């Protein structure tokens, strides 16, 4: 006479199968699904898209924000003397000012201390509480980046072309502010 009980998997064997399936699903989803938004933001963040950093901040249009960047490509987002975040950029640059005679002059910033961090920035980008940027010229390698008060940052290969664009905009450096 045969036993009415048929052979089956034990509880341990079922748990091992479920564990293996979970591992396989985890590997598959990691490969198929896009990376997290914070990882994507870090990859996409560059001087060309630096305005996004300010606009994505929870302090945007609530407080003035300043981004200080160093020669080592480390940048510090600061508001009201407090360090909000540290960002690594793909490239660094040097700040310049446009003189009234249309010559470019590099800006030497003093040492800054925020909390325990002490550094000398090579450029600073300031976003006012109203959401407008202070105009800034940054030399990145052989290219020039112009940060307009309310337009997207724009790269130029030729400084003469950049100066002409600045002159045609509604910001005039020799008026020390925004055109009325």
Of 4-8, 90-94, 102-106, which range is least confident? 4-8
pLDDT band at 54 (very low <50, low <70, confident <90, very high): confident
Judging by beta carbons within 10 Å of its beta carbon (0-12, 13-18, 19+), is residue 2 exposed, middle or buried? exposed
Q: How far is CA 167 from the centre of its chain?
A: 27
Taking residues 112-118, what's their average pLDDT?
A: 87
In the chain, the percentage of residues whose pLDDT exceeds 70 is 83
The label of the residue with tokens 């990882």 reads: 39
pLDDT band at 43 (very low <50, low <70, confident <90, very high): very low
The mean pLDDT value of the chain amounts to 81
- Please, how many CA atoms are within 13 Å of residue 25, restricted to the half-sphere of its CB? 6
Tell me the pLDDT tens digit for each residue of 67-79.
Answer: 999 999 898 999 9
- The predicted structure's pLDDT at residue 175: 46
Global pTM exceeds 0.95: no
């Amino acid at each position: 006479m045969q036993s009415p009980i048929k052979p089956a998997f034990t509880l341990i064997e079922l748990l091992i199968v479920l564990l293996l399936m979970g591992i396989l699903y985890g590997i598959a989803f990691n490969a198929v699904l896009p990376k997290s938004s914070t990882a994507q933001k870090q990859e996409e963040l560059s001087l060309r898209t630096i305005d996004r950093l300010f606009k994505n901040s929870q302090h945007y249009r609530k407080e003035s924000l300043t981004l200080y960047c160093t020669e080592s490509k480390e940048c510090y987002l600061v508001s009201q003397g407090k360090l909000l975040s540290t960002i690594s950029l793909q490239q660094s640059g040097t700040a310049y000012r446009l003189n009234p005679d249309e010559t470019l002059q590099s800006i030497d910033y003093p040492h800054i201390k925020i909390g325990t961090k002490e550094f000398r920035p090579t450029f600073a980008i300031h976003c006012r509480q109203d959401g407008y940027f202070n105009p800034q010229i940054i030399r990145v390698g052989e290219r020039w980046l112009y940060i307009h008060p309310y337009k997207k940052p724009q790269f130029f290969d030729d400084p003469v072309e950049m100066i002409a664009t600045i002159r045609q905009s509604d910001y005039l450096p020799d008026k020390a502010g925004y055109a009325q």
